[in-house]
Amino acid sequence: MAKRLILHGVVQGVFCRYYCSENAKRLEVHGSASNLADGTVEVLLDTDDESKIESFIQALKSNPYGIRFYGSITSIDIYNYNGTIRGDYRF
């Protein structure tokens, strides 16, 4: 089942969607990232591989690849997602 992540913190205007995309590419995960009106970023991951999802979340928290990101993620909400993968920044 796909996952929907909501990223909280300083996540808009700081290369967060790019950051998500680059982490996902390295982990071979497809999906999308979108800025939401409340200042958060929504990430949709098109995988049911729990280990890849966990690796993606850990990569967002620790930036092991040294990807350019000028913000900070303070928390991540995780939900199951049954819709289509849509968004303004697809990867």
C-alpha span between 41 and 38 (Å, rounded): 9
Q: What is the phi/psi pair of residue 81, to 5°?
A: -140, 130
2-77 adopts what CATH topology?
Answer: Alpha-Beta Plaits (3.30.70)
Cβ(34)–Cβ(41) under 8 Å?
Answer: yes
Residue-level pLDDT at 1: 86
What stretches of the chain adopt beta strand conformation (E)? 2-10, 31-35, 41-45, 72-81, 89-90
pLDDT tens per residue across span 26-49: 999 999 999 999 999 999 999 999
pTM: 0.95
